[in-house]
Amino acid sequence: MPLEAPLAPVAERVSELNTRYRSHAATSVLEHALSDPQVGEIALVSSFGAESVVLLHMISIMDRTTPVLFIDTEMLFEETLQYQAELADTLGLADVRVIRPDREAIFAEDTDGLLHQRDPDACCALRKTRPLQQALRGFDAWITGRKRFQGAARETLDFFEDEVGERIKVNPLAHWAKADLQDYIDNNKLPRHPLVRQGYPSIGCRPCTTRVAPGEDERSGRWRGRDKEECGIHFVDGKLVRGPLVKGAA
């Protein structure tokens, strides 16, 4: 049996993939990402948050054996933990991996559980970013639920991104509007996160998520009152990853 050819550099593959699938629909982008050899070994990273059910449902139809990585920061809402377990069972997801922060690191860096008050960026790095990077070892690509309408930091998203030469990030829903998500959920009769109806359109960790008032941006309830918009999993060396970057660049 012949050996598979090694994958080309990430930047080359991202450019080629964006060109090839630029005019495709979200479901087509996701379906091809799961099977295109230029993407490689892939996992879906899901928060099981307010809109996560859309991609999780698509995956359950296309290939329910796709690894799904769920980061349990150990500061999530109880409703999120219950929703995660129930949704995984309902959709028949066969390979959900619950990722938790390193115990020794927690004891060393957040002994009182109040790091989120002193330094929310450090807390996100400890409980989310570092565990995810560890979990992604061995994967060539990962699927995210980011969308352009979610804010200025995301308004130029492509379907495929270069994560500093390490792996490909796939954003199948990049071009979807809020109404597209609602239509998909309604048409497929999918269960919503229980906190959505309570005024939480964007759901993160319990201490850093508040209700959103009518007319506010849907992410305004995340880290309210702080100059912070992202949890950090889309950052490398403190910089937001939004397009082809050169590995090792400053």
pTM of the predicted model as reported, rounded to 2 decimal places:
0.86
pLDDT surpassing 70 at residue 55: yes
In the chain, what are the helix, strand and coil shares in percent, each to the nearest 5? 40, 10, 50
Assess whether 231 carries a catalytic annotation.
yes
Nearest to 96 by CA among 154, 40, 21, 44: 44
What's the CA gap between 18 and 13, in Å, rounded? 8
What's the CA gap between 93 and 218, in Å, rounded? 28
pLDDT surpassing 70 at residue 97: yes
124-181 per-position pLDDT tens digit: 999 999 999 999 999 999 999 998 876 656 677 899 999 989 999 999 999 999 899 9
Structural domains in the chain, sorted by start: 10-240 (3.40.50.620)
Q: How would DSSP label each residue in 41-104? A: SEEEE----SSTHHHHHHHHHH-TTS-EEEE--S-B-HHHHHHHHHHHHHHT-S-EEEE---HH
What's the CA gap between 221 and 217, in Å, rounded? 8
Q: pLDDT band for 214, please (50, 70, 90 cuts).
A: confident
Sequence-distant (6+) residues with CB within 8 A of 2 are none
If one counts every other C-beta atom within 10 angstroms of the C-beta of residue 237, the result is: 10
Q: To the nearest whole number, what is the mean pLDDT of the chain? A: 87
pLDDT of residue 149: 79
What average pLDDT does range 81-100 have in this prediction?
A: 98
165-177 per-position pLDDT tens digit: 999 999 999 999 9
- Name the amino acid, one letter, at 237: D
141 forms beta bridges with: 42, 168
Exactly one of 123, 205, 208, 231 is catalytic; name it.
Answer: 231
What average pLDDT does range 82-96 have in this prediction?
A: 98
What's the CA gap between 194 and 175, in Å, rounded? 26
pLDDT of residue 220: 82
User: Would you state the torsion angle of the CA atoms of residues 17, 2, 63, 130, taken in this order, to the nearest 10 degrees?
Assistant: -70
Q: pLDDT band for 216, please (50, 70, 90 cuts).
A: confident
pLDDT surpassing 70 at residue 14: yes
Q: What is the DSSP letter of 143?
A: E
